[in-house]
Amino acid sequence: MSNSHAVAVQEHQDHHAGHHEPGFIGKYVFSKDHKIIGIQFLMTTLLMLLVGGALALGVRFQLAWPWRAMPLIHTLTGGLFGSEGGQISPEFYTMLFTMHASVMIFLVIIPILAGAFGNFLIPLMIGADDMAFPTLNMLSYWFMWPAIFCFGLSFTIGGLNAAPANGWTSYPVLSAVVDASPSAGAPQTWWLIGLTFVGVSSMMGSVNYMTTIINMRAPGMTLFRMPLTIWSMFITAILQAFALPVLTAAGFMLVAERTLGFKFFVPGNLVINDGAPTIGGGQPLLWQHLFWFYSHPAVYIMLLPAMGMVSDMLACKVRKPIFGYKPMVYSMAAIAGLGFIVWGHHMFTSGMNPALGMTFMISTMMIALPSAVKVFNWIGTIWGGKISFDTVTLNCVAFISMFIVGGLSGIWMASVPTDIYFHDTYYIVAHFHYVLFGATLFGCFGAIPFWYPKMFGRKMNDTLGKLHFLLTFIGFNGTFFPMHMLGIAGFPRRYADPYIHPYMEHLLPMNRFMTLCAILMGLAQLILIYNFVSSWFIGERASRNPWNANGLEWTAPSPPGHGNFDIAPICYRGPYEYSSPLNPSDDFLMQTDQIVAR
């Protein structure tokens, strides 16, 4: 009894008829092929990762060696990172952390998950030949570049030292009144426009993904036979579609306030920078509600796809089905649904109605539940498995562990009385870096080598991958775990020089240690970049299914050609039938394998 890895059904797609070859520009630059677009997203976001990381190192440097010019960088950039007196100025510090967060959130994490992996994997995993709207897909990538341009322009337009400096949360009144802060002029407006472009790009993607997943699944692929990656992308797309318009609206309102004199957010009678008293009528809290209404679902947008991908990778690496597939799906849906009703937990101390504090506390506590269920299910997945420890497995296990830390630390913030103390301290910074970097980014660091063979037809170097993992893991925990302690010590966020406050003076050595770990972590990413680029040329060539995985994408060539599959796939079962007794000769059973009766 033999298993064939491809069903011998030839099907000629009608819309391939009369198809002409695009030139180089059409094929690689303005490509409408989801695979190329996915790779374009991947490379752009990896580049932005380095930019965002460099900005973070600027922040960390100031906290470790306050008021010193950065060695080398200072001279190389012609004094950019250090103004008069050889030290960075306080307003420059505010720009560093604002742009670090803006770049990381809008130009790295959201695009890498939805744009890079979503784009590449969705059609392949569901057996489609491309996305539902290929042109829209191309536009969604190219709209990232105006966003990058706007963010970059906001750095330069006020003179090199005047990027937006009001936090990525951009709270009015600080970001609304032009005189209130150094960058609250043109740079802030450009930042908002950049945000709008990111939003447009995301919306295009989200519409595309929802349509593709609903309409273009291969025959036999019911919803509950979809891999969890697809579920996560689907749910994420729904989150994007419903939450993003609120951010865009808020952004327009703020631009209108700043440039057209509308009064949404600024109350009257405020005297800022010796200006005339403001003529107002606005409510600063309105922005916070609108902003967080999007930005809380945004954090789940930045998490769910990684959860889905880790589930797929983990099942493959431990050669076992996912423990509790349907609870996993329902948990993701619950996280997304509950994600819409928890935004107020960012605002417990903001002065909003205290009754809201109580309701948001309860909903926020409840959102911990599906996350916990998922963690238990991942552990259950590994239970009784056969594990091979390579780069992918290491990163996935790190994902689980870091997510546990990040999730658990959230409990103190969900509980309102403790959040009174922890809000706007480094405790929050620790929490979100554990979930965004520790979980999501480690998930991506696992996903890159896992799907690299499919993307480029070669495997990445596993030794370098393990080295990258080790250094990143050590650097990451060294940088961010102590932040929990800093938060407990009452170390506020966004302080250029915390040490003028006596109760924080003794925390300087710890901050130095954290900065050194951060530098280690930053340098370690060069290993990833090197591995990524060099494997194009000297990586071991990969077969169609180098990991012996079950998904539909592994039936296509590595890399897949135009149209993805040489034979249109038909799906017979779920994606996690590893170690199935139905297949006596192998420990995996692909979704497309037909079991021919004896």
Partner 1 sequence: MRSYSHALLVVAVLMAGGCQSQRAPEFVLNSQTKALVPAAQDAVRNELQSAFGTPTKLTVWESLPVDFGKFEGKVTSVSDGRAFVKLAVASPNAAARRLPEMKGAAVKIKGADSGLVVASYNAETGALGTTGSDAAVLTADADVSVIGDGLQFGRDLYLRHCMHCHGVSGDGDGPTAKYFAVRPRDYRKGTFKFTSTKPTIRPSRDDIKRIIKLGVPGTYMPSFMLLPDDEVIAIGEYVRWLAMRGELENKLDVELGNDYSPDAAKDRQLKEVKQEIESKLSGKVTEFGTELTEDWNNAEDEGNVVTPVTARVPSDADSIERGRKLFISDKVKCFSCHGETGRGNGVSTEDFNDIPGGKPGEKSKVAGLFDIWGNVVKPRDLTTGIYRGGRRPVDIYRRIAAGIKGTPMQAFGGSLKDEEIWDITNYVFSLPYQNKPAAKHH
Partner 2 sequence: MFWPIVAIVVLAISPAMGWWFPTEAFSPLGKQIDNLFYMILIIVGITFIGTHIGLGYVLWKGVDNKAPKAWFSHGSHNLEMLWSIAPAGILMFISLYQLDVWTKYRVQSKFPKDMITVAEVTARQFEWRIRYPAPGKKLQPTPQPDDLYTVNDLHVPVNQRILIRLRSGDVQHSFFVPGLRIKQDAVPGTIIPVWFETLAEGDYDLTCAELCGWGHYKMRGRVLAQRESEYHAYLKQLAADQAYDGHGDARTGGADVVKVEKATDKK
Q: Using the rule CB under 8 A, which residue among 18, 78, 159, 354 binds partner 2?
A: 354
Question: Would you count residue 497 as binding partner 1 (CB under 8 A)?
Answer: yes
Q: Using the rule CB under 8 A, which residue among 415, 512, 520, 546 binds partner 2?
A: 415
Question: Would you count residue 78 as binding partner 1 (CB under 8 A)?
Answer: no
Query: Which of partner 2, partner 1, none is residue 464 near (CB under 5 to 8 Å by kind)?
Result: partner 1
Q: Using the rule CB under 8 A, which residue among 36, 464, 556, 590 binds partner 1?
A: 464
The SS3 call for residue 425 is strand
Question: Would you count residue 270 as binding partner 2 (CB under 8 A)?
Answer: yes
Query: Which of partner 1, partner 2, none is residue 67 near (CB under 5 to 8 Å by kind)?
Result: partner 1
Could you give the C-alpha distances from 499 to 118, 229, 426, in angstroms and in order?
Answer: 44, 45, 15
Question: Would you count residue 527 as binding partner 1 (CB under 8 A)?
Answer: yes
Question: Would you count residue 357 as binding partner 2 (CB under 8 A)?
Answer: yes
Q: Please provide the DSSP assignment of 564-583 as one string.
A: S-SS-----S-TT-TT-TT-
Query: Which of partner 2, partner 1, none is residue 171 near (CB under 5 to 8 Å by kind)?
Result: partner 2
Count of residues near partner 2 by CB under 8 A? 113
Stretch that binds partner 2, among 71-79, 99-107, 338-346, 484-492 (CB under 8 A): 484-492
Spatial CB neighbours of 381, under 8 Å, sequence gap ≥ 6: 311, 314, 315, 318, 320, 321, 322, 323
Tokens, residue 237: 């797309």
Spatial CB neighbours of 20, under 8 Å, sequence gap ≥ 6: none
Question: Would you count residue 281 as binding partner 1 (CB under 8 A)?
Answer: no
Question: Would you count residue 69 as binding partner 1 (CB under 8 A)?
Answer: yes
Q: Tell me the β-bridge partners of 458.
A: 541
Question: Would you count residue 268 as binding partner 2 (CB under 8 A)?
Answer: yes
- The distance of Cα 300 from the centroid of its chain, to the nearest Å, equals 9
Q: Using the rule CB under 8 A, which residue among 256, 362, 523, 533 binds partner 2?
A: 362
Stretch that binds partner 1, among 85-93, 368-376, 505-513, 567-575 (CB under 8 A): 85-93
CB 99 within 8 A of CB 164: yes
Supply the Cα-derived Rg of the chain in whole angstroms.
24
Nearer to partner 2, 26 or 324 (CB): 324
The H or E element containing residue 313 is helix 304-318
Picking from 72, 58, 50, the residue whose alpha carbon sits closest to that of residue 526 is 50
Stretch that binds partner 2, among 106-114, 211-219, 418-426, 443-451 (CB under 8 A): 418-426
Q: Considering only residues 367 through 406, tell me which ones interact with partner 2, judged by CB under 8 A.
A: 368-369, 372-373, 375-377, 379-380, 382-387, 389, 397, 400-401, 404-405
Picking from 41, 251, 216, 199, the residue whose alpha carbon sits closest to that of residue 126 is 216
Question: Would you count residue 90 as binding partner 1 (CB under 8 A)?
Answer: yes
* Residues 428-447, mask of contacts with partner 2 (x by CB under 8 A): --------------------
Q: Using the rule CB under 8 A, which residue among 26, 27, 50, 89 binds partner 1?
A: 89
Q: Using the rule CB under 8 A, which residue among 369, 500, 582, 595 binds partner 1?
A: 500
Question: Would you count residue 533 as binding partner 1 (CB under 8 A)?
Answer: no
The SS3 call for residue 295 is helix
Q: Using the rule CB under 8 A, which residue among 29, 523, 533, 582 binds partner 1?
A: 523
Nearer to partner 2, 398 or 571 (CB): 398
Buried/exposed 566-587: b ≥16 CB within 10 Å, e otherwise: eebbbbbbbbbbbbbeebeeee
Question: Would you count residue 212 as binding partner 1 (CB under 8 A)?
Answer: no
Q: Using the rule CB under 8 A, which residue among 166, 212, 461, 531 binds partner 2?
A: 166
The SS3 call for residue 492 is strand
Spatial CB neighbours of 277, under 8 Å, sequence gap ≥ 6: 268, 269, 270, 271
Rounded to a whole number of angstroms, the minimum distance from the CB of residue 252 to partner 2 is: 21
**Helix 34-64, helix 442-456: angle, nearest 10:** 150
Rounded to a whole number of angstroms, the minimum distance from the CB of residue 167 to partner 1 is: 17
CB 508 within 8 A of CB 67: no
* Residues 491-530, mask of contacts with partner 2 (x by CB under 8 A): -xxxxxxx-xxxx--xx--x--------------------
Stretch that binds partner 2, among 12-20, 24-32, 168-176, 193-201 (CB under 8 A): 168-176
Question: Would you count residue 466 as binding partner 1 (CB under 8 A)?
Answer: no
Spatial CB neighbours of 12, under 8 Å, sequence gap ≥ 6: none
Query: Which of partner 1, partner 2, none is residue 284 near (CB under 5 to 8 Å by kind)?
Result: partner 2
Dihedral angle, C-alpha 470, 476, 479, 483, nearest 10 ° = -140
Buried/exposed 482-512: b ≥16 CB within 10 Å, e otherwise: bbbebbebbbebebbebeeeeebeebeebbe
Question: Would you count residue 462 as binding partner 2 (CB under 8 A)?
Answer: no
- The distance of Cα 84 from the centroid of its chain, to the nearest Å, equals 37
Q: Considering only residues 162 through 191, tell me which ones interact with partner 1, judged by CB under 8 A.
A: 179, 181-182
| Phi-psi map region of 398: left, alpha, beta (phi>0 left; psi -120 to 50 alpha) | alpha
Backbone angles phi and psi of 492, in degrees to 5: -70, 160
The SS3 call for residue 29 is helix
Q: Using the rule CB under 8 A, which residue among 3, 83, 89, 211 binds partner 2?
A: 89
Question: Would you count residue 489 as binding partner 2 (CB under 8 A)?
Answer: yes
| Residues in touch with partner 1 (CB under 8 A) | 66-69, 71-75, 79, 82-87, 89-92, 161, 179, 181-182, 269, 271, 273-275, 277, 464, 497, 500, 523, 526-527, 530, 534
